[in-house]
C-alpha cells in the first residue's frame, strides 16, 4: 500500500523536469531559477543579459545552463523554444515600466511597454506552449502584478499590460488544457527588484508603498519562489487559469491614507 504521507512529501519535487526561466539574470527570475533547481529541476537560465544569466546558472551549478533570449525578438523566442526537448516548466518574468501620466505618453513609450510586457509574454507562452502541447504536459507561469487590479497615476500602460497578461493566461489555459498543459499567473505586490529601484531609492516613496499593504513591508524576490514551485509542481495539478496574488495583503485592504505618496508624485510631475 502506498504511504500517503510519503506521496504528499514529494508533491513539490521537480526531479527529472526541465525548466526554462526567462528573466533569470536578476530579481524574481534569478530567484525562481534557484528555487526550481533546489527542488530538482534542470534549469535553463535565459535573459537578454547573457552574462547575468550565466552568473545565475553558475550560482546553481550543473545541470543549470544559460541562454540568451530577447523577448522583443520573435526569432530569439522561437530559437529558445527549440533548445532541446520541450520544457516541462516555463517561467517568464521580464517587464518594463515608463512612469508617466497617460497624457504625457508618446507612442514610443507605449510601444516599449507593450512590446516587452504583453507581446513578449505572448510570444513566450505561445512558442513554449506549442512545444508543451505536442509533448502532452507542462506548466506555464507568467508574472503579472497587483497592477492588474489596482492602479495609480503614472502606471496606466504598465497596468494595462499586466491585466492583459492575466487575460492571456486564462485564454491559453482554456486552449491547452486538453493537451495537458496548465497555465497560471503570479501577481506580486511591491518587490525589491531592479524594476522598482526608482521607488526604492526614494525613502518617502519606499515607506508609502510599504504602508499600502497589510504586512507593511516590501517583499524580497525570494518570497515569490514558493508560488512558482507550487504552480510548477504536482502540488497544483488541479490549478489552471488562476492568478496567485503574492502581495502582502495589498489587494485585500480598503483605501488607506497615502499622503506621502501623493506629495511625492506631485513633486515629480
- What is the spatial distance between Cα 67 and Cα 46, in angstroms, rounded to a whole number? 5
Q: Which fold has domain 4-248+255-267?
A: Rossmann fold (3.40.50)
Give the pLDDT confidence of 13-28 residue by residue, as tens digits: 999 999 999 999 999 9
Q: Where are the domains of the chain?
A: 4-248+255-267
* Cell numbers that stand for 262 in this block: 501623493
Rounded to two decimals, what is the model's pTM?
A: 0.90
Burial string for 215-244 (b: 16+ CB within 10 Å, else e) reads eeebbebebbbebbbbbbbeebeeebbbbb
Confidence of residue 6 (pLDDT cuts 50, 70, 90): low
pLDDT score of 217: 93
| Cβ(113)–Cβ(161) below 8 Å | yes
- What is the spatial distance between Cα 131 and Cα 142, in angstroms, rounded to a whole number? 16
Confidence of residue 1 (pLDDT cuts 50, 70, 90): very low
Residue 257 has pLDDT above 50, yes or no: no
Residue 194 has pLDDT above 90, yes or no: no
Give the pLDDT confidence of 151-160 residue by residue, as tens digits: 889 999 999 9
Say which of 8, 105, 158, 209 is annotated catalytic.
158
Rounded to whole angstroms, what are the CA distances from 118 to 42, 62, 69, 201?
A: 27, 32, 16, 27
For 117-164, the DSSP string reads IIIIHHHHHHHHHHHHHHHT-EEEEEE--GGGT---TT-HHHHHHHHH
Q: Which helix or strand (DSSP H or E) is residue 244 part of?
A: strand 243-246
| Cα-based torsion angle of the residue sequence 179, 124, 249, 260 in order, rounded to the nearest 10 degrees | -160
158 is catalytic: yes
Amino acid at each position: 500500500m502506498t504511504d500517503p504521507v510519503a506521496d504528499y512529501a514529494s508533491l513539490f519535487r521537480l526531479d527529472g523536469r526541465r525548466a526554462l526561466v526567462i528573466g533569470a539574470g536578476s530579481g524574481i527570475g534569478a530567484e525562481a531559477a534557484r528555487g526550481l533547481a533546489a527542488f530538482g529541476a534542470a534549469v535553463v537560465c535565459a535573459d537578454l543579459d547573457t552574462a547575468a544569466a550565466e552568473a545565475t546558472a553558475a550560482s546553481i551549478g550543473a545541470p543549470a545552463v544559460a541562454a540568451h533570449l530577447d523577448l522583443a525578438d520573435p526569432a530569439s523566442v522561437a530559437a529558445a523554444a527549440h533548445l532541446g526537448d520541450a520544457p516541462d516548466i516555463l517561467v517568464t518574468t521580464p517587464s518594463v515600466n515608463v512612469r508617466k501620466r497617460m497624457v504625457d505618453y508618446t507612442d514610443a513609450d507605449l510601444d516599449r511597454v507593450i512590446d516587452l510586457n504583453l507581446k513578449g509574454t505572448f510570444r513566450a507562452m505561445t512558442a513554449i506552449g506549442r512545444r508543451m502541447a505536442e509533448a502532452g504536459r507542462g506548466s506555464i507561469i507568467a508574472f503579472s502584478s497587483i497592477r492588474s487590479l489596482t492602479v495609480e497615476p503614472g502606471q496606466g500602460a504598465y497596468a494595462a499590460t499586466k491585466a492583459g497578461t492575466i487575460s492571456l493566461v486564462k485564454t491559453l489555459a482554456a486552449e491547452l488544457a486538453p493537451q495537458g498543459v496548465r497555465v497560471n499567473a503570479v501577481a506580486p505586490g511591491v518587490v525589491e527588484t531592479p524594476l522598482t529601484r526608482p521607488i526604492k531609492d526614494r525613502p518617502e516613496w519606499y515607506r508609502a508603498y510599504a504602508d499600502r499593504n497589510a504586512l507593511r513591508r516590501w517583499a524580497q524576490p525570494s518570497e515569490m519562489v514558493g508560488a512558482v514551485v507550487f504552480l510548477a509542481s504536482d502540488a497544483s495539478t488541479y490549478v489552471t487559469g488562476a492568478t496567485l496574488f503574492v502581495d502582502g495583503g495589498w489587494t485585500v485592504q480598503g483605501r488607506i491614507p497615502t499622503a506621502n505618496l501623493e506629495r511625492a508624485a506631485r513633486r515629480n510631475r
